[in-house]
Amino acid sequence: MIQHCIVQVVLDTPLDFYFDYRYPVEAENFPVPKIGMLVVVPFGRREEAGLIVDVKEESEIDENKLKDVVSVISEIPPLRTDWIDLCRFAAGYYQRPLGEVALPSIPKNIRANKKLALKRAVKALVQVPGNIVATNMEKPVLLKAQEQAVSAIVKTRGFKPFVLYGVTGSGKTEIYLQAIEEKLKQSDAMQVLIMVPEINLTPQLEVSVRSRFPGVTIATLHSRLTESERLKNWLQIHTGVARIVLGTRLAILASMPQLGLIVVDEEHDPSYKQQEGLRYSARDLAVWRANQLGIPVVLGSATPSLESWQHVLSGRYVKLELPERAVKDAVLPAIRLIDATREPLQNGFSPSLINAIKRRLEKSEQSLLFLNRRGYAPVITCEACGWISVCERCTAYMVYHKSHHLLRCHHCGLERPIPRVCPDCGNIDLQTLGRGTQRIEEGLAGYFPDARILRIDADSTRKKGSLEAALEMVHKGEIDIVIGTQMISKGHDFQNMTLVGVLNPDTALFSHDYRAGERLFSQLMQVAGRAGRGGVSEHGNRSEVLIQTRYPMHPLYQAALTHDYGNYVSDLLMERQNAGLPPFGFQVLLFAEARKVENALDFLRQAIDAIPEPEAVIINEPIPMAMMRIANVERAQLLIESTSRGRLQGMLKEWIPVLRNMKTGIRWHIEVDPMSI
């Protein structure tokens, strides 16, 4: 008779508890059960992959009611307990079931138990032989501040969070590479994780890392990998074959058995916060994971987040400062404010900006124009009756895309042909309002018909490899003027770029989101950093940044003039402290969705009544979201605040089970530490 033990398994399901299954002991193809093993179990009418989180002799449930484990995914070595602890922390802090955290971070081909794909991937696991570092590559000579930063990182034993605060072009990437080199030399098995905020920053960093470390297996993790690529790379990481892991935010949840250093590049970037499903901050999980493992973590940025800056001021984090650019003779670009009230814009351009571009063209230097709005124009309107191209499914305008001759909603994806006449009054003279990157491209071609102009935004880089091809053209000098959105504003090293023009940044000054100013300043510093990275131009001119604004005396722009991030952040921190906002307060948002916003608001009011010890937190009035309707679903939100993270978490642990038991038919979710309100 086959003997059984009990294994507790978590599954990718909204049900927040462990499931007991009978596990045959000493049966064929059933190894000794261990925490971290992946198994296939019956669940309802289907079979699901699950993760063993406990092994017991008995169950509190009648054994006759328990189902048996179907099989073990034996090709995969068990996941370590420290990885399970990471998932358990993320599940607890961000208020999701453990199974919804752990299982989705494992490749689908493993969860689907595709034996052939697994066998091929396991068979392909090969450690690349050779030296760690390229012996024929001449490493850049470090400045003193860079040397001190590398030394501080590599000499650290145990947990220590560093904020690598360096101006754009100060050589943060070189510090990462040299610190990684020294760390890899400390142990034959050590792994290093480097995270970047966006996929489009991955290829160029990967080239740098691969050229520096030809004898090391390097694996990437991001959402654009095919399932077979993800399986191969994940297995290399999980088995320790890959010693350098390069990825976006999802990489923080990868199983890395020998992790010895974590680098979070551009740590301030909002892209590190997941906005659906498990709404986690990869940066914050990186710090937690480093603390758990007792290893250093480096948070790099020219404009660190206010949270990280405050941790430096309080002594929790160590600041490593790089005050100057790493390239000889390279200085920060001069920033000029163009007062749009005194210098009227024509087609979106001031005469000063047009003249500056003209001078660059005459010297064969490159220019970058930054506008964070894709499309041709934000809206089409009828001046006769006031009709505006509004999305029928969202409380948003439909953007005019001239190249495809259609209106597109950037929120739900709805597309409509351009109306020949006004839908309301029949007027044939429809006008465009505002400017997107496509319209700026068209206007620029009118001023400079012989210039080689390239637009880089989400529309022009949809095809695989198109962004890489576009960037290569810029680097080769085949482009004179680049027009781009935020995807071009950070991380790119353009050696011949001597002018940056910033168009229409003022909208962020009046946003309802209290983080908008912080983001705008960061964005300005990042895009300004694309200029002058190759040093003084061959004509001896300093690079410059021109910002077109109607509010040149605004404190944010005045601080930008001198690249004075420190003083600007000090003022912001004082404002946040006086208002009890992060990083001095802690927030949770409860979102509700319904066909009618009033139903969503009713649910939120019921949720308030269910809050345990409401006097321990600050409860704001439920309100419709700023973008109230998306894809015919109306949305509302409830903001809850506290001066104590522990008190807020304690309330959530009691409150959320009550919300789950409320039979309302309303879709809802919780976001802890929201990035925008």
Q: For the chain, which residues make up each domain, given as ranges?
A: 3-105, 144-322, 334-374+437-574, 378-433, 586-672
Average pLDDT, the chain: 90
Q: Helix 282-293 crosses helix 81-93 at what angle (to 10 degrees)?
A: 140
Average pLDDT of the segment spanning 123-133: 64
Q: Is the confidence at residue 185, as pLDDT, over 80? A: yes
The rounded distance, in Å, linking the Cα atoms of 667 and 600 is 9
Lowest mean pLDDT among 264-273, 581-590, 608-617: 608-617
The helix (H) or strand (E) run that includes residue 335 is strand 334-339
The rounded distance, in Å, linking the Cα atoms of 287 and 76 is 27
Q: Is the confidence at residue 321, as pLDDT, over 50? A: yes
Tokens of 275: 């906005």
DSSP label of 225 = S
| 87 annotated as ligand-binding | no
Query: What's 3-105's CATH class?
Result: alpha beta
The rounded distance, in Å, linking the Cα atoms of 639 and 425 is 42
Split at pLDDT 50, 70, 90, the class of 537 is very low
The domain over range 586-672 is classified in CATH as 3.30.70.600: yes
Tokens of 309: 């800056």
The rounded distance, in Å, linking the Cα atoms of 401 and 527 is 25
Average pLDDT of the segment spanning 252-262: 98
| 409 annotated as ligand-binding | yes
- The topology (CATH level 3) of 144-322 is Rossmann fold (3.40.50)
Average pLDDT of the segment spanning 144-162: 95
Q: For 432, how many CA atoms within 13 A lie in the half-sphere containing its CB?
A: 19
Closest CA to 24 of 69, 60, 62: 69
End-to-end CA distance of the chain: 60
- Distances in Å between the Cα of 70 and the Cα atoms of 36, 112, 572, 611 are 17, 13, 57, 42
Lowest mean pLDDT among 229-238, 258-267, 409-418: 409-418
Residues 6+ apart with CB under 8 A from 141: none
3-state SS, residue 445: helix
Tokens of 409: 């909603």
Token match 């008995």: residue? 58
Lowest mean pLDDT among 89-93, 325-329, 507-511, 661-665: 325-329
pLDDT value at residue 380: 86
Exposed, middle or buried: residue 553 (CB in 10 Å: 0-12, 13-18, 19+)?
A: exposed
Backbone angles phi, psi at 50, to 5 degrees: -135, 165
Average pLDDT of the segment spanning 346-359: 93
**In one letter, which amino acid is 278?**
L
The rounded distance, in Å, linking the Cα atoms of 344 and 513 is 29
Tokens of 25: 């002991």
Q: Are the CB atoms for 170 and 437 separated by under 8 Å?
A: no
So what's the architecture of 334-374+437-574 in CATH? 3-Layer(aba) Sandwich (3.40)
Q: Are the CB atoms for 236 and 219 separated by under 8 Å?
A: yes
Residue pLDDT, tens place only, 263-292: 999 999 999 999 989 999 999 999 999 999
Q: Is the confidence at residue 477, as pLDDT, over 70? A: yes
- Fold agreement (144-322, 334-374+437-574): yes
Closest CA to 161 of 295, 253, 252: 295
**In one letter, which amino acid is 233?**
N
Q: Is the confidence at residue 200, as pLDDT, over 90? A: no
Closest CA to 639 of 607, 598, 595: 607
Four-point Cα dihedral 673, 674, 675, 677, nearest 10: -140
The rounded distance, in Å, linking the Cα atoms of 244 and 371 is 35
Average pLDDT of the segment spanning 183-206: 89
DSSP per-residue string spanning 336-400? EEEETTTS--BTTB-HHHHHHHHHHHHTT-EEEEE-S--SSBSEEEETTT--B-B-SSSSSBPEE
The rounded distance, in Å, linking the Cα atoms of 163 and 309 is 8
DSSP per-residue string spanning 562-629? TT-HHHHHHHHHHHHHHHT-TTSSEEEEEEEEESSHHHHHHHHHHHHHT-SSGGGSEEPPPEEEEEEE
Q: Is the confidence at residue 516, as pLDDT, over 50? A: yes
The rounded distance, in Å, linking the Cα atoms of 169 and 13 is 45
Exposed, middle or buried: residue 509 (CB in 10 Å: 0-12, 13-18, 19+)?
A: middle
pLDDT value at residue 667: 94
Exposed, middle or buried: residue 505 (CB in 10 Å: 0-12, 13-18, 19+)?
A: buried
Q: Which residues of 436-451 are buried (b: 16+ CB within 10 A; e: fewer)?
A: bbbbbbbebeeebeeb
The rounded distance, in Å, linking the Cα atoms of 36 and 52 is 5
Q: Are the CB atoms for 577 and 389 separated by under 8 Å?
A: no
| 5 annotated as ligand-binding | no
Average pLDDT of the segment spanning 131-139: 62
- Distances in Å between the Cα of 628 and the Cα atoms of 143, 598, 640 are 51, 11, 19
Q: For 129, how many CA atoms within 13 A lie in the half-sphere containing its CB?
A: 0
DSSP label of 556 = H
Tokens of 457: 């935004």
| 425 annotated as ligand-binding | yes
Residues 6+ apart with CB under 8 A from 609: none
Determine what percent of the chain is predicted with pLDDT higher than 90.
64
Q: Are the CB atoms for 397 and 387 separated by under 8 Å?
A: no
Q: Is the confidence at residue 320, as pLDDT, over 70? A: yes
pLDDT value at residue 115: 81
Residue pLDDT, tens place only, 65-101: 999 999 999 999 999 999 999 999 999 999 999 999 9
The rounded distance, in Å, linking the Cα atoms of 333 and 542 is 6
Split at pLDDT 50, 70, 90, the class of 134 is low
Query: For residue 403, is it left (φ>0), alpha (ψ between -120 and 50) or beta?
Result: alpha
